[in-house]
Amino acid sequence: MIELIFLGTSGGMPTKNRAHSAIALRYGGEILLFECGENTQRQLMYTTYSPMKIDKVFISHWHADHFAGLPGLIQSMSLLNRAKDLHIYGPKHTKKFVDMIMKTGHFNCRFDVVAHDITSKKMVCAGKKYSVFALPVSHSVETLAFKFEEMPKQGKFDAVKAKKLGVEGPDFKKLQKGKSVKIGKKKIRPEQVIGPDRPGKTITYSGDTAYSEKLIEFAKKSDLLIHEATYGDEMKLWAKKVKHCTNVQAAELAKKAKVKELILTHISPRYKETKTFLAQAKKKFRNTKVASDFMEVQVK
């Protein structure tokens, strides 16, 4: 199961109810952090997500509302005697920005902070059971969208069929682990009792971006699309000028990409309530939600 928590959902400036952008994804005992806006480490204190389990941070772009929490997070990791390297992935100039951060004070780190510049559509990194991909998108500075892809899972084990073939006891586990077993003179192969691999789950995160046809293909059939919606539909001309998206544009993109669910985030502080904001988007794509700070999502 993939778990996410929205640690911050505001665009530009924080509000009393919304912190700067940050999303933590927990999978297989590891936590991946997408964005690290101001106050991210304090937001984590109100959750069950340990900052010490964060080994990878993905920064969509180097506007302060997306990265200003990094120095404090790194300092706390150092004070907690972290030993493992911390990897930070971002667009062009990420190495330069991370180097500047590390030179702004005395962090006394016992671990390395390793920066990675991502300059083209590619696989960014891989874990044991997942991969993360990046896509350059259109914003006022170099910006990336990210996609988390879970590896395919083993097909369902047909216990009834296995029993009919004479399988029993410990041979069940052997077959489930991909090993053949011998029943009398018969050899039972895993593919006889295990169905085809099941596709893993896919989560796409847009970062800040103008409406992008490229992102439609990138997010195609994602189980979850998390998309910025800085403005409501009434501000679509302004959104185009500053290379952001509206709620309705994000919903149109979700519909064209045929995703299962859309969550809107990076909401401008001008929107004190989001009922109308959400209703506009749902007219285009019904399975839409507006993120709030500490909102939790499970992708099963």
Please report the sign of the dihedral spanned by the C-alpha atoms of residue 135, residue 139, residue 142, residue 148: negative
Active-site residue among 55, 65, 112, 293? 65
Band (85; pLDDT cuts 50, 70, 90): very high
The answer to whether residue 65 is catalytic is yes
Residue 22 contacts residue 36 (beta carbons within 8 Å): yes
Query: Percent of the chain at pLDDT above 90?
Result: 81
Tell me the β-bridge partners of 54: 31
Q: Helices 247-257 and 275-284, interaxial angle, to 10°?
A: 30
Over residues 159-172, mean pLDDT: 81
* Confidence band for 198, pLDDT divided at 50, 70 and 90: confident
Confidence of residue 251 (pLDDT cuts 50, 70, 90): very high
- The amino acid at 119: T
Confidence of residue 118 (pLDDT cuts 50, 70, 90): very high
Sequence-distant (6+) residues with CB within 8 A of 185 are none
Task: Identify the structural domains of the chain with CATH numbers, from first to last.
Answer: 2-153+199-299 (3.60.15.10), 159-193 (no CATH)
| pLDDT tier for residue 157 given thresholds of 50, 70 and 90 | confident
Percent of the chain with pLDDT over 70: 100
Own/partner contacts of 72-77, CB < 8 Å, gap of 24 or more, are: 72/40, 72/41, 73/36, 73/40, 73/41, 74/101, 74/102, 74/107, 74/109, 74/113, 75/105, 75/107, 76/41, 76/51, 77/51, 77/52, 77/109, 77/111
Query: What torsion do the CA atoms of 226, 230, 231, 232 make, to the nearest 10 degrees?
Result: 30
3-state secondary structure of 25: strand
pLDDT (tens digit, 9 = 90+) per residue, 201-217?
999 999 999 998 999 99
Under 8 Å between Cβ of 1 and 297: no
- Those residues with Cβ within 8 angstroms of residue 183's Cβ, 6 or more apart along the chain or in another chain: 165, 166, 167, 171
Give pLDDT, residue 60.
97
Cα separation of 248 and 283, whole Å? 8
